[in-house]
A and B are shown apart, each in its own frame.
Chain A
Amino acid sequence: MTMTKGGTAKPPSPGGVTGAADAARPTAHAAGTTAAPRRSHIPGEGTAHAAAVEQARKDMLHEVRARKRTRIGADVVCEALIRQGVDVFFGYPGGVILPLYDVLGDYPELRHVLVRHEQGGAHAADGYARVTGRVGVCMGTSGPGATNLVTGIGTALLDSVPMVAITGNVPGVLIGKDAFQEIDINGITLPMTKHNYLVRNADDLPRVFAEAFHIARTGRPGPVHIDITKDALQQETRAEHPTDEEVMAGLPGFRPNLDGHPRQLKLAAAEIARAQRPMILAGHGVLHAEAWGELRAFAEKTQIPVAHTLLGIGAIDETHPLSYGYMGMHGWKHVNKAIQSADLLFAVGMRFDDRVTGNVRTYAPYARIVHVDIDPAEIGKNVAVEVPIVGDAKRVLEAMLPLVGEVDPAARADYFEQLAEWRQESEASSWHGSGAWRDGLLSADFVVQRIGELSDHKGTYVADVGQNQMWLARYTGFRAPNSHVSSGGLGTMGYSLPAAMGAALGRPDRETWAITGDGGFQMTLQELMTLVQDRIPVRIAVFDNKKLGMIRQWQEIIYAGNYHSAHLLGPDYLKLADAFGIPAVKASTPAEVDDAIRFAQGVEGPALIWFEIAEEQNIFPMMPAGKGLSDLIEKWGGAEE
């Protein structure tokens, strides 16, 4: 390749000026001669732009001089992460993000965990964020590195998890040239982030990082993506980090409303005062707002039972007298029954997802609805509500507390009696206290419950997606906020192991369990090596039914037993764990369960348990798609589950 520079063109990269002798050579364009024969393959040769493109191509091939140790864009990134309180982040290097890795060694405060796949990095940042309430950070290079992050970013968006995803991109002048590992990642993440940035100039980095973290954690949390060109990482800069006021001033369109409107609060209080069979529906927003104390005080003062969504698990201690349980598609029958007969739903930080409501036309037919959410767009989106309140769950519940009257539990005696009766009936069915399902093999609900009990309900329990996720949600017994981590909105299989990795680093004081099916486990099991290399103590429980369990259940019940691709071969998980250097044990009978769990708890660092569970156990009750909460299926084929 001929390297030609025209005129006074100056490359923007700090790679230095090479080939200065070429500078004086006139070209056909510069000389203004017409119809000269083409002598070069470089489009627009002799122009400043063409020279810059050529220089950038050389930089892509790493023909750059040794870096000068002045403050460059990559330093700004590290400074910004430290300023935002980041202690650990998850990444994978690649060509254009190498300038950042070049300076990382100078910032020992930042712990970088080298994952085995960028998707694992994104889920780890997500798991870290969910257990700590802080912003999780993940990083990848351009092209495939960036697209691999996408699933994790989408998972964070649908569950409103605060996250900043950083990617490198090709040098600015090569953008749009289909350069090596170039993809329009900004265009890809645009509809699946709260906001995204493309940074081409190092001077913009301090502002962009401050804004990104502010946006990610403020109001309804969510992921923010920052794409940085390689030359921006390499440029020298003196730009200073902005103050909080400057950040706010730069975001005039971002002013989340935190306090509920006083008139709406009064209306809500009036609704509560007249309700005879009210229910509180607690969602993820309660955890985001750290409003569990306020929720409890509010429920106790008004004597209203609290049901929770999948992501609302932990909003109230499940052993609290007013906690009524998990609602929705695979929720407890008594909870769904109570919702269907309630005359008031007080919904906090939840969004009436289709997995919660089923058919909206028949949802909670007697209930008026008070809906508290920080995102105005959630109100009236899925169900029409009587009293909308836009605000932060914590502030709204705080403000509501003095407005509601103290209710004597005796006033609700009939209501509570009915609820208790339903609960006893529903909890007694579909439960395998003996530990064995009808074919004598391990019953998954029993295993999950023993994990909860033997870890004193004080661990972090990270679900994968499918049957295992529902068993975990129903039978573990959650006591503390942020102890349950689950991909609710996007339903990302393969989430459990990498998310548990982040969760274990975020809350090292807790025992961290990754509970996964054999299908999801095989999607991201490469992160086993990350656990080993970084000594991250995750206890992995693989629920092996040799099936894609939820697929098999749907095909059995909804597709008339027409099974396809539900049967799944798996490896010998003991040998697999052994190859990774992870202590592992297998449990196939109820008698082996406790010992296996204690074995894993006794290991320092990661450990794996291979639970061979019943192959055809279904998760019941189940609300078939398109049906309502009153149409739960509780058994199939005449057999009790």
Chain B
Amino acid sequence: MLPILIVFVYLAAVLYIGIFAFRHRGGREDAEQYFLAGRAVGPYVFLTSLFGTHMTAFAVLGSAGHAFGNGIVTFGLMASSTALVTPVCLLLAGTRMWALGRRHGFLTPVQMFRDRWECGHIGTVIFAVQAALLVPYIVIGVMGGGTALRAISNGTIPYWVGCAVVALVVMGYVFFGGMKGTALVNAVQTTMFLLVGTTAFFVIGQGMGGFGDVFAGMLENPMEAALLTRERVPPRYFFSYMFIPLSAIAFPHMIIFCLTAKRMTHFRNTAIAYPLCLTIIWLPSTLLGVAANHATDVPAIQQKLEARAALAAPAPDLTADERHALRRQADGEDVVIQLLHHYAPIWLAGLLGAGIMAAVMSSDSQILALSTMFTEDVFTHYDGRMRFGEASQVRLGRAFVVLVTAVAYVVALRVPADIFSLATQYGFSGYAALSPLVFAALFWRRSTKWGALAVTLWSAGAVAAIAWFQAAVPAPPAGSVKVIWSVAGLDLLTRTPGGTAVLGFAPVMPMVLVSVALMAVVSLLTRPPSEATIARYHAPARAASGPGPSPDGTALGV
């Protein structure tokens, strides 16, 4: 009972922070204040809120769950790849978008795309695809909250109630506090999770008799020793995961957070600290997930191991429903919480449970981003603000926050996929395929709106095709693959237990490469924007004709 009480006190505190931000905004209701915190976020809040919004439930529950089933490969697959790619993207593209946002007053990435490529409706198409891809990411947060609350309360709070509580708290502080409330809450949550996550790691390790003994014991058992290697993930699949972190710079909520920094130097500190923060969160999560395989004295974990063994055993008489039920039972998403229950003192379990809630409740910035995008890219673009005024824009943004949260809640109750695969296969892969939009807009003078449209339609189509494929072709049993399309002995398309593989690579890699090719070919075949527009974004090319007139007189020279 005590742990869940501590968690509810924490949730109340988080809600208060959002309302506190609302009260201290000085009565201003303009869009830039509500949606971007007045572009005045300081260095510490910028780092922690940007990092917090990137690391959702999937970083904690999903990574431990993935490590529980696949071993130490989880860290290299997602954490160390992100440690390189995301900070480089922040230094390269984040700084430039920040500067463009300041100069031209952009609040969303679509505003920049519309201006850069002189387009209107194509921007609306980009908005629609971005919004559709963002929903799974929001759902992850709600699902993570429901899973965590159910586990922390030992099943007293049902999943649907847990999801509802998290959705209502997040909706509350986003509704009242806007970006200022969201950034403050994210900063508190990230700080809390960094601190208590480390504590949880050591307390559980001590409870299990020391990680040294646990891993030495695992080495003695061939099945468990395999989890201390990366043999459960093929090298090609591992390589293709380097493309997943490109999604960070294409996520609208990440771009919108980039626009909130008070100074550009905030990016420097953030880029340097990012790999360190990643290590602090992902290393304990991975180790705890792997070590959970040895915690057979925890009944809930023992049941998961039995379900996994039943799935792996040859059992042709298992129905699809039975197989699905076993897969759900074998899911490792709540193993960290189960370890906490078993090994930590009850008061600490409550505090650490609140820390876990802090990490999983990061769907706030995605909800706010969707609201910002809708009001700016649709309402304002189609003259809504001109007709109804700026105050109505903020009111509409708040109404949209309520609507999006309600939809995410309903979807969270109906979606069966586990957190990790849901995140990587739909949200992350789709946004990684959209990342050429950002780089082309910022760095390639010759890019065109038709190239952008081709990339957007391809990304949406590819995600839809993967979703359809995985729904139509049931996953094979663990440890096997189902070859769907093979040419001359080459397996072009395979259905794996966790998803899909194209030539052995995760779908994200061909998706990104095709996006790059489409942007290049279609842009070269179509007419570029006017010289005046290009000159506002790029330094004039040497030996070319001089820059055209610019509304503010200077080129940004990105």
* Binding between chains A and B: no
Q: Point out residues on A near B: beta carbons under 8 Å.
A: none
Q: Point out residues on B near A: beta carbons under 8 Å.
A: none
